[in-house]
Amino acid sequence: MADKPYRVPGPDHPITIAPAGRRVAVRVGGRIVAASDNALALSEASYPVAYYLPRGDADMALYERTGLSTHCPYKGDASYFSLVVDGDHRENAVWTYEEPHEAVAAIRDHLAFYPDRVDAIELG
């Protein structure tokens, strides 16, 4: 990772991670693909809040790892999953940081979802 830029969150690009404080459920095709009372809310700069759910609270049988990988200088390298529910294929709908930078280590083993690639992210 030495050839990739690394930045520490700070006043110019703040990142905060906190318990969501409520149940977060993700639906595709009327089916819950992940639901957790232990989700994390990640706020980054001016981006919308992203909810990260523990992998243990996801139905991983519905997830297919893809070859896509992206790099965030603040969080690290992201891997992606597609969701396949009853023949409905949602390409690269889910991202995860399997080895996040130390500043955001809390999101390790968590999944986040693109709101426009799932039917709903419900906050209970």
On the 0-12 / 13-18 / 19+ scale of CB atoms within 10 A, 8 is exposed
Please report which confidence band the pLDDT of residue 4 belongs to, taking 50, 70 and 90 as the band edges. Answer: confident
The answer, yes or no, to whether residue 2 has pLDDT greater than 70, is no
Q: Can you give the pTM of this predicted structure?
A: 0.94
Joined tokens for residue 13: 């690009």
Position of tokens 């050839």? 3
**CA–CA separation, 110 vs 105, rounded Å?**
10
Domains annotated on the chain, with CATH = 15-123 (2.170.150.40)
In the structure, how many helices (H) and strands (E) does the chain have?
A: 0, 10
The answer, yes or no, to whether residue 14 has pLDDT greater than 80, is yes
pLDDT tens per residue, range 38-94:
999 999 999 999 999 999 999 999 999 999 999 999 999 999 999 999 999 999 999
